[in-house]
């Protein structure tokens, strides 16, 4: 019995180590190709079912995102002003906002193909950009880049840049404005209101 447990334990640690050892570019590639395959097959997502797209994002994509880091980056200087409770509220609300935005993007750009740029990376690096080019059926290809950081739980995405625009730092000045008008609580309240409106539009079945 002891041996069995020991074997199981070592197997578990091996599989955990394997998960951590996936290179950042391989991680981005496998997650995006999984997601694209599902989006291509799923009739509900094809016809604009945002709740289904959110479900897909939650299951496949979000485990690889570091939302606390994203929120810190978006809030910038004001992050240190926030109490631990406020910080938690900010992360929760910002997560909801990003997930809904990301899921809409799935639906709007469902017919795309992705080209992966080769990653030149030193073994000691802990912060890398994985660069991709998304080809649309019409119009110019869009550059989408993922900024990943090496953590104890493997590589985590903490910024996404679409056509050179960071989805995270793009909030910085509007967040700063909210904080200067209503404090950190004011920012949390605005995010909550935005998410409430967004959830209502999902419930109403709007695309």
Residues that bind other proteins (CB under 8 A): 72-73, 76-77, 97, 100-101, 104-105, 108-109, 131, 136-141, 143, 161, 163-167, 169-174, 176-178, 180-181, 190-191, 194, 198, 207
Q: How far is the CB of 1 from other proteins (least distance, A)?
A: 50
**Cβ nearer to other proteins, comparing 32 with 147:** 147
Secondary structure class of 26 (helix, strand, coil) = helix
- Closer residue to other proteins in complex, CB, 27/188: 188
Residue 110 C-beta: closest distance to other proteins, Å: 10
d(CA 4, CA 10): 10
Q: Minimum distance between the CB of residue 45 and other proteins, rounded to whole angstroms?
A: 14
Query: What is the rounded distance in angstroms from the CA atom of residue 189 to the CA atom of residue 90?
Result: 9
Of residues 56 and 191, the one with the C-beta less far from other proteins: 191
Minimum distance, C-beta of residue 153 to other proteins, in the bound complex (Å): 20
Rounded to the nearest whole angstrom, what is the least distance from the CB of residue 17 to other proteins in the complex? 29
Task: For other proteins, give the closer residue by CB, 22 or 143.
Answer: 143
Q: Which is nearer to other proteins, 10 or 177 (CB)?
A: 177
- Residues in contact with 76: Cβ distance below 8 Å, sequence separation at least 6, in sequence order: 172, 175, 176
* Phi then psi dihedrals of residue 42, to 5 deg: -85, 115
Residue 117 CA to residue 131 CA, distance in Å, equals 5
Q: Shortest gap between Cβ of 15 and other proteins (angstroms)?
A: 33
Q: Which residues partner with 150 through β-bridges?
A: 155
- Distance between start and end Cα atoms, the chain: 55
Distance CA 131, CA 141 (A): 13
Angle, helices 67-75/172-203, rounded to nearest 10 degrees: 130
Closest of 102, 169, 90, 156 to residue 128, by C-alpha: 156
For 115, the token pair is 């080209």
In the complex with other proteins, which residue's Cβ is closer, 10 or 101? 101
């Amino acid at each position: 019995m002891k041996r069995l447990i020991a074997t199981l334990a070592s197997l578990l640690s091996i599989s955990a180590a394997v998960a951590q050892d996936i290179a950042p570019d391989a991680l981005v590639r496998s997650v995006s190709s999984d997601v694209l395959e599902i989006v291509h097959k799923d009739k509900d997502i094809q016809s604009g079912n945002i709740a289904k797209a959110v479900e897909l994002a939650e299951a496949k994509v979000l485990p690889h995102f570091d939302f606390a880091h994203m929120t810190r980056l978006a809030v910038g200087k004001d992050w240190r002003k926030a109490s631990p409770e406020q910080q938690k509220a900010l992360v929760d609300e910002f997560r909801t906002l990003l997930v809904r935005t990301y899921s809409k993007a799935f639906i709007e750009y469902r017919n795309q193909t992705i080209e992966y740029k080769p990653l030149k990376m030193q073994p000691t690096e802990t912060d890398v950009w994985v660069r991709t080019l998304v080809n649309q059926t019409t119009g110019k290809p869009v550059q989408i880049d993922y900024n990943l950081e090496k953590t104890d739980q493997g590589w985590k995405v903490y910024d996404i840049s679409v056509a050179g625009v960071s989805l995270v730092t793009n909030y910085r000045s509007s967040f700063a404005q909210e904080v200067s008008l209503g404090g950190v609580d004011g920012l949390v309240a605005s995010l909550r209101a935005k998410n409430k409106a967004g959830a209502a539009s999902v419930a109403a079945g709007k695309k």
